[in-house]
């Protein structure tokens, strides 16, 4: 994707997000004491409303605008264009078309539900510092970083169904490459030259740090048993033969409260919000009639008759 196309794509994303949040100011009564950034067909966009909408965007879109100030001008131009077209659409009474009416209703419901959530759930949820600290103290096991190993490997690929001859040939090749490494040849360069693992070959076989449970058992057992700098004998897995070199180890370590404080706060906030939301939905289901027919979502069973209509 070119830089120009990326810019257009970013503008489209930001514009869509802003319009979803209703960037349009009312014709009257909403711009007192604020600077008018644009006015089209009686609709006014204030500077405050424009900046508020940008501030309400997802973080990645806010960062895009911050990195490229020209996006603001493009967004403003986009607002003008959309408002012009919307004004003409109203003149043509397009808002009265049944399909358009339904879409407007759906969008209105979504925005109202979003605002309802903000006022009745998000605004009421508060997580105290004590709650965060207590959770950490009572759930320390959740914040223990397990033992990790950093390793490189060279894979000589062999089919799981390979015969003895093919296995012997692959193992011999692995042993020859290992001998080169033991004599001092650069392991990363050997991996780039010989490894059959496309995912790590370009990085010199580097797999980064990993913990137990991430690799196949045979590979994992060998990697965690090696010392830093040690090179394994060929290790057979379902992928073939691996030569493994361990380049670093991290012991199991307890993460500090400071490291995980924000994560805990977000977790507790989500849990409280979920509980309140469920309580509200349960109450509203008693207040308003609800009928759901989930059987309509089931995939129809194929007809037993000939698909071309014959018996």
Same domain membership, residue 275 and residue 211: no
Same domain membership, residue 206 and residue 241: yes
Same domain membership, residue 261 and residue 245: no
Indicate the helix (H) or strand (E) that contains 207: strand 206-211
Q: For residue 195, is it left (φ>0), alpha (ψ between -120 and 50) or beta?
A: beta
Same domain membership, residue 72 and residue 24: yes
Arithmetic mean of pLDDT, 261-286: 95
Is the separation of the CB atoms in 31 and 46 below 8 Å? yes
Arithmetic mean of pLDDT, 216-225: 96
Same domain membership, residue 263 and residue 211: no
Same domain membership, residue 194 and residue 136: no
- 172 located within any domain: yes
Is the separation of the CB atoms in 6 and 12 below 8 Å? no
* Predicted confidence band of residue 133 (pLDDT cuts 50, 70, 90): very high
Q: When comparing pLDDT for 29 and 119, which is higher?
A: 119
- 281 located within any domain: yes
Same domain membership, residue 9 and residue 98: yes
Confidence check: pLDDT of 207 > 90: yes
Is the separation of the CB atoms in 246 and 230 below 8 Å? yes
Same domain membership, residue 164 and residue 243: yes
Total count of domains within the chain: 3
Same domain membership, residue 208 and residue 165: yes
- 299 located within any domain: no
Tens of pLDDT, residues 65-109: 888 888 888 888 888 888 899 999 999 999 999 999 999 999 999
* Predicted confidence band of residue 306 (pLDDT cuts 50, 70, 90): very low
Same domain membership, residue 276 and residue 133: yes
Arithmetic mean of pLDDT, 209-229: 95
Percentage of the chain lying above the pLDDT 70 cut: 86
Same domain membership, residue 277 and residue 135: yes
Domain that holds residue 86: 3-108
Confidence check: pLDDT of 269 > 60: yes
* Predicted confidence band of residue 4 (pLDDT cuts 50, 70, 90): very low
């Amino acid at each position: 994707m070119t830089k120009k196309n990326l810019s257009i794509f970013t503008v489209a994303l930001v514009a869509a997000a802003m319009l979803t949040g209703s960037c349009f100011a009312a014709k009257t009564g909403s711009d007192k004491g604020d600077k008018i950034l644009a006015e089209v067909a009686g609709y006014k966009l204030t500077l405050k409303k424009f900046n508020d909408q940008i501030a309400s965007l997802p973080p990645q879109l806010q960062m895009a605008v911050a990195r490229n100030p020209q996006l603001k001008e493009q967004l403003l131009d986009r607002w003008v264009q959309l408002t012009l077209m919307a004004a003409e659409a109203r003149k043509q009474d397009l808002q009265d078309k049944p399909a358009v009416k339904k879409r407007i209703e759906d969008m209105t419901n979504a925005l109202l539900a979003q605002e309802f959530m903000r006022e009745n759930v998000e605004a009421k949820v508060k997580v105290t510092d004590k709650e965060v600290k207590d959770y950490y103290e009572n759930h320390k096991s959740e914040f223990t970083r397990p033992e990790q190993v950093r390793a490189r490997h060279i894979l000589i690929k062999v089919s799981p169904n390979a015969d003895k001859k093919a296995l012997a040939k692959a193992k011999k090749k692995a042993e020859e490459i290992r001998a080169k490494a033991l004599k001092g040849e650069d392991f990363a360069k050997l991996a780039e030259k010989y490894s059959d693992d496309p995912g790590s070959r370009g990085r010199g076989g580097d797999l980064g740090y990993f913990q137990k449970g991430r690799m196949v058992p045979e590979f994992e057992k060998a990697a965690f048993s090696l010392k830093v700098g040690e090179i394994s004998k060929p290790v057979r897995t379902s992928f073939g033969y691996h030569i493994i070199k361990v380049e670093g180890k991290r012991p199991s370590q307890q993460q500090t409260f400071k490291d995980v404080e924000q994560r805990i706060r977000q977790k507790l906030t989500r849990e409280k919000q979920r509980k309140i939301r469920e309580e509200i939905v349960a109450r509203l289901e008693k207040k308003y009639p609800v009928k759901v027919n989930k059987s309509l979502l089931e995939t129809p069973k194929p007809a037993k008759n000939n698909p071309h209509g014959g018996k």
